[in-house]
Structures are given as C-alpha cells and as structure tokens.
Structure 1
C-alpha cells in the first residue's frame, strides 16, 4: 500500500499542522521545501506509514530523498525525551527542510508544545538571545545547533547566558572541536553532542551513547553500522541506493554509514568520514584528528583540514583556519610543530590558508568540497605557505541555508 506525499514550504506555521496530521495518519506525508530545494510540483506516492521525506544536504553528491516512517520518528522523539529531561519546548534555530530542523518540529508535535522560531535572516547572537527569552515554559527548554552557531554564541556574553539557561543544547550536523565543547561546558552551557543523519531521523547517539533501541557496530574496516527503530524506510524511488546503504547483519537491518569509528564499552567515538581521509605519501591522515589540534590553538575559531592534489605526495595536507575576532592566526611553523609532536610529521599541514569564514552548505555544515577548491587555489606553487584569502560569505546558518 502507499500514501500521498505533499510538498510543504519549510515554514514552521505550515509544517507544524502538516506534520501533526502526517504523524497521526490523518493527512498526507510531508516533504519540506526550502528556498534552495526543488519542489516536485505535485503529489506523489510513498510507502504506507511514511510521515516525512527529507532531502539530504548533498555531501556525497546529488541530494537524496530519505523516507521516514511515523513509527521511526516517534521512536526517535521518545528516546530523545528519555535521554534529556523529558518532553519540553523547543527553539528552532535550524532550517526546517533538513532533518535536524524538521525534528525540532516533530518533537514539538509529540510533546504537545509550540516551538519558538528564529526569524528569517542571518543567524545573529542578539536574535537568538531574544528568542530564548521568548521560550517560556514550565518544563524543560531545548534547542538544536550546529557547531558554527555555537562558536558565535559563545563569543557573545548575553547569548552565552541565554544558552546557560536552557536544559539541553543539542550540537550536531558536523564534528565539534574538543576545545569548543570544553569552552561551552566551562561556561555552564548544557551541550549534548549528537551523531546521526537523515537516515536515522537525525541524532541517534548522544555524547557517544546510543539512544534507546539504537545499536552501533563496526565492520572490518572500522566503518560505523547502525541498527534500531529510528532507521529510514529507504530512499524515495531509488532501490539501487537502498541496496548499498542498508545491509542485513546477523539477520538485523543496518544502515551502512560512510563514517569511521571506535567503540569502547558501548561508547561510540566518530573518527571522521572514510572519504575524507587524505593519502599523503604512504600515510592515511584523518582530517578530524588534525582539525581538533588546530581548533585548540590560541586565536583559532574554526578549522578544516583537506587534501589537495600534489605531484610528489599525491595529496598535500592543508589546514584552513578562521581566526577568532581580534586575534592573529598561528603561523605555519607553529601549526606543524604542534601536529607533528602529537600525530607525527606526515599529519602536519604543509600549507596553511587563513580565511575570514568557512564556506557552508545545507544546515550550516562545512562544505568540504568548497574548502578543498579554495585550498587548492590558495596553495598553488605561485603563492606563499601562509596566506589569507577570501571565502564565500558564510554568516552562519540561516533560516534558509547558506
């Protein structure tokens, strides 16, 4: 059997009633359409039980439409409430066409609360602070952010104070630098790191611990596999993708992610994406480990590490950093010394590019393809090893994606 899928503009006032009807079966399934996503233009058929179809942000190529059943969304929402302080009221600070933003609305429907929604426009600390002030509720109060947003809020005293008053601040969508989390927790902000993707109804591992019912495992190559009631039904109209993304392991359906991880006593540590690994000489370099060291350096607000083609090394390790406001970025020699001491010389960036902001995509994730293109242009043999270059405008995640 099938049911109807309907495109709905990704506005909270329109999506909330549509999602409520989709979840209880009284209305069609919902596909949120933002200003930068293409609407199908007419109702389509989706598998029976479907409540939501979200488009991926395209990190691995052409965006895909992920089919999420009402049961999977309820399982995710219920598990989140159990892990946090119970059903609460949410502040929507992410684009609702992507899974993290849509889940804020789904959790609000399940909790019977009305979310506060940031107005359209660039993400700004004063706007966020005012929205938190409007988030009045007798019970728990929550929000969900990406790391770039958290960085900017921590640079503002009033916004930091507003964050401190919430019961949980979920941070996901991209890896959070350890220094960022230390800084947030030292300021009293109740951050909860989340790991997940559209295919798992968003975050399904909180602070390294899987939500109820979610079971992670690693394959022989260290790739993360995920099982549990939060898994997507599949990809809309793409059985070929279903066959490669989902696999039966010991008779249980798993999502085969493209992330590498480590499991210690049931705690999952994500080491980075398999396709982000840089092969330089004969050494595999995981960018996330180098990025953590760069982000912890004095004066660095954000960091991204990419590989650029090189005739001698195959790929050069390049660090791209954003300095903190009023601070100077470290020089290349200092960066290489720190990384070489901790990880070995092969991991040390051979070029350092200083930018005003990192290019973003989707719900505020770093656009690694754009960073790599920027780094390749800036590290041409005709330029110096340490150079400030312009990056595409990236004021941070907005109500419409940057």
Structure 2
C-alpha cells in the first residue's frame, strides 16, 4: 500500500478539503464493501481506500505524507532515518532527532446496534431509522478540545517534543533515556483552558438517528457494516464503524427455508376429495391456490416467485404450502349415515402399512408437530 498514491486511490486532488476526502471515502466504501461487492479485487481496493483515508483524514499524518514522510525509511536526508533510530536506541539519541509527540486525534470506536425485523421485512428489504447513543463531535470546540478563542500551548517541560530525556550513569558511562512527558502525557502541548462542554475531549455523548437500508434476504445473526458511522474519535478523530446486528422474529403462519417460504394449508375432507380453490394472505399480498381433487396430507403446492428475495441476487424463492387434510371428529346422525354409505360404495382393503415416503413431513415437521 505504501506505493499507492493516497489521493489517486480516493480520486481527489491534493488540494481536497477534509470534507471532500470524507465524501470520497464514504462513496468508495459503499461501492467496495465486501457485503455489497464480494470480489477479491474489490476487497483489495477496499483495504487501499481505508488505508488512504486513515492517512489523509489525520492532519498531521497528511502533512507528513505530503512532505514525503510516508516511505519505508520514515523520511530523513538521503533515507538514513532508520540508522538514526538505531543510533538513538543504543546511545540515547544525543545530537540526533527525538521521538515525535503523540497526536490527540485518534480513531473512534466501532458501535453495535441490534434490530429486530419481521419476516415480511426480509422479503424485499426495509428502511429503518435507528437511534444510536454514541460519541459525536463537540459543537462548541469542534474537536479542538479548547474553549473558543483559545488553543493548546507548547509544553514548557518537554518543549513540544512529548518526551523528556534523562541521563543515567552506568558501567558503560552516561546513558541517555527517553520517556513520555508526564506533564503533557506525550502530546507535546497542554490545554490550559479545556472546553467546558466536552471537558477537553473534543467529543460528547449524544443520541442521534441513523438511517439504514437493510437489504432483502438477511438472516438472524447477520451483521451489516456502515463505515464511518460509529463513534467520533478523541479530539475530532475519524469515526469508527457502525455494525447492525439483525434478528428476524418468528411468524405465526410462515417459516423460512433458505429463500423459500413454508406454510401449512388445512383442507377439509370434502374439499380434499372434490378439490377447491383457496385465497390466502401472503407476506406481500393475496395468493390464489388450486387444490386438486384427491389431494393427500403431505402434498406440497408450490407457488413460484412468492418467496424471499436473496441477499445477493434478484430471483425470489418460492412459496411452498403443505396440505393437511382435517378429518371431522364430531358428526350428526345424517352426516354419519352419508359417510357410511360412501364407505360401502368405496370399500377398500382396509388399513395397512405402506412404503415409506420422504415428503412434506420431513421438511415441515415443526409445523405438523405444532411446535
């Protein structure tokens, strides 16, 4: 990634504003995210885009990058910065460069929100406005951590380096050690007048509304990622990501088998013998069913294209309706006599074991057991 021009990766000019860089990153992240674009090339480009944004969204890192500081040797005349680091490590850095102060700006944490969907929401997808309680940019100081009209001042202990050096005598002579400055905590600056709103953090806790388009075909346990929609970092650092964890509620009538919907149709014995038409309420409107004469319990009626739209694809699954013939348990005298006459005219061999058939009972066993 070090060989890539970060500005070209994001498709912006070197004079681009932070807002233009942020917009370019969000556009590319939505286009190349693995949940949307599963290709290997897209995954590699997504990593490059994320790395480029991490560098260019941080003013200090961007400045170092523009000055040619994003090379494997860490900059320095004639590329000997690495040698200087080694010299400093062993000899305390006398007469050499010192460690850089740490930045107050850091990437924010990721946030997780759980959302419960109805089965009907999964058929075509749904838009939800979610309430998220996260850290947001302080509107008073806008991430500077200082009261309006003030700014950080150079630490008078470390002189802005973020580190202090101490000389320790040893058998090898005087050894110079370096440690983070305890006064400025390694930042190189102090904030004499912290912002009263955020207490010098550059961010505050707030409840905000995030709109999310949940695609069709999601399942319980699936997590959707929204890059840059998580918590803002300390001192106005880049936002973390927001993850949406999906849970699909159980439906009273329909269940799911992949991209297919399953249901059970109760048919009276006369309708099973003579055949009938049925009009049922599907998850997306009325469904007409033709029950043929002589239908048996366990037969499956399939309606093409009335199932769930898959997560990646456009061809919907099917609606599969299993038939359950209901035998009457209470008959009046006349009805019983008619059944007896029917039985005499259609006398069969009597009850007997038949060859085992793997059918609807295996696929919809929970429904037939009443679970």
Give me the TM-score of the superposition, normalised by structure 2.
0.21
Bigger fraction of residues in helix: 1
Task: Please say which structure displays the higher CA radius of gyration.
Answer: 2
Bigger fraction of residues in strand: 1
